[in-house]
Structure 1
């Protein structure tokens, strides 16, 4: 089989990639495919590339080639690595076409670059009979670039994130292979950290390798337990209890920023002293919140950044400690603290960072679910003329109106927006959008003549995205001629002042127009929707909403299953699975009184 599908859409294997290259009809098309699949460039970056952007670096007598990847402002975004044979083909193309150093290598729009890749996929499907090639896109090729380096070549994820422009290792997690204890043990056997490898032990006589294995077990158990809790308190309690249920952690606690202090909401483990006097503005906790990174110490007693922990450490019987930011995206107001007898290793620190992100994601899900079921919510209306907010910038650039139809989560923290465009041509806007750093992909769903429905996958700067990252649900958004109006809802317990400050700091030309509490009427349709939403899993709800807004249920269809799956970041079979389960729950809730959504008697009950 030359191609397969995984959770990120169609996965191109090396053999499939070779077939794709052979399907190109011009030297330019093959170069575009190679720049996406072997250098990791986005369509907008390929369209801006110039021969003069290529540079050479000598390391121990060997020449390595790099690309100074230009950004939309003609600055340098990053330096991508250029494999020798790609550099050779690029140089040959420049010579054959007599391209000057400051001329664009591929003088077409980013949209045309996307079309070149899609056309190559169509030819590959026609030649091989493998219909999956028709779903190949520039995003597919960037995924191939990342997965090949990470899973097959074993390149350090930090290096891949840097040269590929992902910004952080976390955004590459979906490309990393799953590891079991055998994989971890084999990896550590090749290091000097395993007991007996170099004759050194940690201070309490426990080998570093043995300690890591214990930490791996505790952190995995804590992460696995998150899905079984339905409240924030339950999530925090389960995480802390699982962390201290065996070596190496003796104390675990979770604290949330409330005003000028950190309030410890959950704690587990030895010690009766309360942890107090912690400020979000200084010390290790403040550093972790500000940098969104783990902070550790080998000795709480001698480290001034952990001064507030000393009495707690004496009572709890630990010496070393770590403080971990708990967040999902840019919203970080919670930390996880752990106390342990021996220093936290670098690899253990990476695992704790992973647990912090999992905790943040789980908390966001239950908080948004609670918001959906709350009787009272706080409605916030923002108005922004900040051109750095994507939709405000789009409407100002094209003097048009963009209205939100729906928004669902995408992959790697992106949001998939379905918007109605009026007052501008769809192709013109799509070409402009794909040249923006904030946009991962864009396509036309429906053309209604004077209006059009667009799908925009936005991972960068946008007011509505900022609200979602801080726990809000966005119900309305309209941008007209450079001014964007967004209406979001948060729970009554939300720190609204902190949310508003975060949004206006990120987008200075933004004002909070209104803040009002609203009672949700206990009408039958509302209760029905709330009950149904509560029975759907997060992914089922997202897939059902995306399919509705993308015109999947219309005739003729506005989107194929493959297009929808690629936008959300799942496979086509997985999409159909979620849709069937969600539709069954919807129909069960509508047609029967005695069999409610989630009833175990349902043929689509969850495993």
Structure 2
């Protein structure tokens, strides 16, 4: 409900949930980018209209990598806006898919058109969620949301927000923030170091410092009684109540470690859970200084067993943190790999080169998962070819025989892991190789292959490192997809592949078999959270029967009737699971058509002429082993070029005077002006060549 103050001021104060709803209403990449630049970077429409990918600058601190965007005003001077990593990743995907040069505008339209784009998205959000309040949201409300979220919810210093935001002064920013009342004043002074209630009690200060720590913390008094335990300790031990007041010895399974005389070394301990079982951990403790220099108990921090293992390895000279740092650096560098690579194999080689060049890993290997040959080596660095082939053979053993997909695709597994959850030891003709992690290269529901990393002989891979490596696998798969899509976007000609699929893994195949209907693709649009929106015409079945069937299929999130023509119906399906179209899209293709009937689907997709057809076929057969390649042919006029040429003709672009300008045409299609001209000129050249060559 709109409050009185909102109505009077004309502002709409968005909650986080409401902002998410606005984001969900964006139907195109461009709409999504516009909304996020307003709501998460704090840009205004005139600023968005000037932004190029070359305006982004990377800066690195000891805690990670950050991006800033140079925002230019009319006077060519401006500020540096902070770009959160998720927004930067979205911008990079947008730039790669449209093959924008560094000096090309991200959103090549006028500021007024950007305001209209926001209005179209918020109108759609209001309709989707039945909330008329969302219809009133404008670009300035999104900037206001940006300020209020950072200051009030993220507790960012208002001076910092003003510096990176579009406000000329703190006074201008203050108009968007809540007024300061007495409770706010008291909260701030109690959080500060200004002397106040409890300031003389060191326990209070310690508790405030550690209350939100991600690890377990105990504050123990001189009498051995627990004075404070944070939530991290409760999570570590599954404690169902406050342990304050209990003797610290009762929290251990077995003998409790002694009181530290000084900051002690990491010590392996076993904490007692409520059910009597032990929670393995490592403890680091330090004494608290009491009045007059007397001891006043101690503070102990506890990390889970995984951390204890890392400490043990560190004592043996293993640099686990160095490996994690290397993985993070390569994860961040995969965007640069995409810029330098022109094929999926070059992406694999680039990732292997960067990993093997670091001291933390001894070798890196990438293999492709095939439908019938298991795993084949694609690229490697730091090992010879026989070892690479041995890795491919061992990796093939982890591929599920029925589905053709790696059993490790949902998580990192390790050869000869210490915890027994990994794979048998990996050996070559020269003997065993220890510490080898097998990482799935998966994007969406499509498996591109596997990445193997070798550390030292007795090294193991901790939980934190596995998490980073899993992200690296996903990022590598995304890089492979981005390269294929970029090449397809700029292609002068394409390879058209037609597949036949007989698998009830596909909703449309199963529906055609069970309902006896025919399903024909009319359009395919990316949705939220990896979903795809299928616009499909159906015949020889009813919408009611299809909706009932879809209700029992987990991968179909939603289905709605758009129009009933009598003999046929146009239906929108939101599909999140495995579908042939999803797989081909994730492999870098453009799905041009499909027809599903009688329990089989024939689907056509376009790829660049440089695409490794065998790799595409293997990647497609991984989730759909019952598929076959029906035909392959080269097409001179790509579907995008044909659609742009047709749109230009229908819009009167070739008439004199023109019925539409290039900017208007590009805006209606949803591409930048340079991209429009690129497609249009290539299409015109091919049509004219075909015409004059026939004479």
TM-score computed with the length of structure 1 as normaliser: 0.50
Structure showing greater relative contact order (alpha-carbon pairs closer than 8 Å, 6 or more residues apart): 1
TM-score computed with the length of structure 2 as normaliser: 0.44
